[in-house]
Amino acid sequence: MSNNDKEYESEENNKDLDFVTSPSLQKSIKKAKSKQTIKILIISLLSTCILFFGVFSTGQYLLQKRLVNDDQSLFNQINGANVYTVSEMHVYGFLNLSAVKHITVNKTIGDREIVWNKKEVEIPFIGKKTVIDNERFTERTNFSERLNREVQYNSFNGEREVSFYYPQQKYDYYPNELEIATQLDDNTLAEVALSFDKNYTLKEIQNLMGLENINWVWVKTIKEDKLGNVKSDSNSRIVDGPSADGFQVRGDDLNSAAKTFISNIELLSKEGKYQTTVKKLAEGINPNSFPEVDDLRISGVIVSGTPNELEKFQDLEIIQASTIGATIDLY
């Protein structure tokens, strides 16, 4: 066989073996590629959905946990004179991964309640909380010629904030605004902060004052050595109402309110952003062990009512100073 014949036969054999370029095979390859592409798209879509669902579910869980475990409301129960949170409404944002908390704070005066502040806080499922609006955030402080002292005003409603005077300190001037409150129009309800001449036990307060018209109790939560660092004639130790520690009194059950106060301190001292602050507060009550109700020492109270109802406190020798706070019409 000649060389040309061999080359021709080799080419024919190669043609028989060149099945890669055949139309049927190319069609099969394209079909396989399409199936693979669809398969990849489906897997990617499912993975994305699973990932999105995981993030969504985790975000909602974390948000609900933050809303439920928000210790701001609990801290407000032990800090802030005669004010308390009455309602918290949540408005959820996109995909329920954030919420705006609408908070309403009230104050009790006599047998009535008035709105003391409204605040809006944006809470994402992760990250920093943001105060959107705080009506009482910008306090006004002016010197009152009538009262002869610096007076702090609530910017939400323009009412006066009460102030307290430490019994351990000596001040240049002790206001006696209880007298002013008793001379107001009979159709007026007023709150008055009474600062005592020394710290008293709960039992002593009940025996000396009774329980009627007491709305809030100012508890000594600062160590003696902290007060000792302040000059005796300094007025810088006047405590404004929003900074005072204590508890609300409902009805005439002072001991029950005190137990709740201790319980709240215990909860807040375990964890949260107020943990350090509350631990110091607890040490101020009892520096040697975690405080109990019997360890509480009362530095003052807030009383409220009509001028006639407030008159009974005028002759109490334990009152060292008194400041008038909010006043409203009885009817």
Task: At 202, list the tokens.
Answer: 């709960």
Within a domain: 94: no
Q: What residues make up the domain containing 54?
A: 3-67
Within a domain: 118: no
Dihedral-angle region of residue 192 (phi above 0 means left; psi in -120 to 50 means alpha; beta otherwise): beta
Indicate whether 186 and 274 sit together in one domain.
yes
Indicate whether 162 and 51 sit together in one domain.
no
pLDDT per residue as tens digits for the range 125-164: 787 877 776 755 556 788 888 888 999 999 888 999 999 9
Residue 17's DSSP bridge partners are none
Domain count along the chain: 2
Indicate whether 173 and 317 sit together in one domain.
yes
| pLDDT, position 199 | 96
| pLDDT, position 142 | 86
Instruction: Choose the final residue of a domain: 32, 67, 102.
Output: 67
Indicate whether 47 and 151 sit together in one domain.
no
| pLDDT, position 39 | 84
Instruction: Choose the final residue of a domain: 67, 96, 113.
Output: 67
Indicate whether 61 and 144 sit together in one domain.
no
Within a domain: 59: yes
Cβ neighbour number for residue 160 with a 10 Å cutoff: 20
Query: Which of helix, strand or coil describes residue 152?
Result: strand
pLDDT per residue as tens digits for the range 160-199: 999 999 998 889 899 999 999 999 999 999 999 999 999 9
pLDDT per residue as tens digits for the range 12-48: 555 454 555 667 766 777 777 777 888 888 888 888 8
Best CA proximity match to 162, nearest among 217, 213, 223, 202: 217
Within a domain: 253: yes
Indicate whether 62 and 146 sit together in one domain.
no
Indicate whether 24 and 164 sit together in one domain.
no
Indicate whether 144 and 52 sit together in one domain.
no
Best CA proximity match to 130, nearest among 86, 98, 157: 98
d(CA 34, CA 53): 28
Within a domain: 230: yes
Indicate whether 9 and 154 sit together in one domain.
no
Summary mean pLDDT of the chain: 85
Indicate whether 287 and 148 sit together in one domain.
yes
What does the DSSP 8-state code read for residue 271?
Answer: S
Residues 6+ away with beta carbon under 8 Å from 153: 139, 140, 141, 142, 159, 160, 161
Mean pLDDT of 272-289: 93
Instruction: Choose the final residue of a domain: 24, 40, 67.
Output: 67
pLDDT at 324 over 60: yes
Task: At 51, list the tokens.
Answer: 């990932």
Indicate whether 175 and 303 sit together in one domain.
yes
Within a domain: 256: yes
pLDDT per residue as tens digits for the range 34-87: 778 888 888 888 888 888 777 777 777 777 766 666 778 889 999 999 999 888
Indicate whether 45 and 153 sit together in one domain.
no
Within a domain: 192: yes
Within a domain: 324: yes
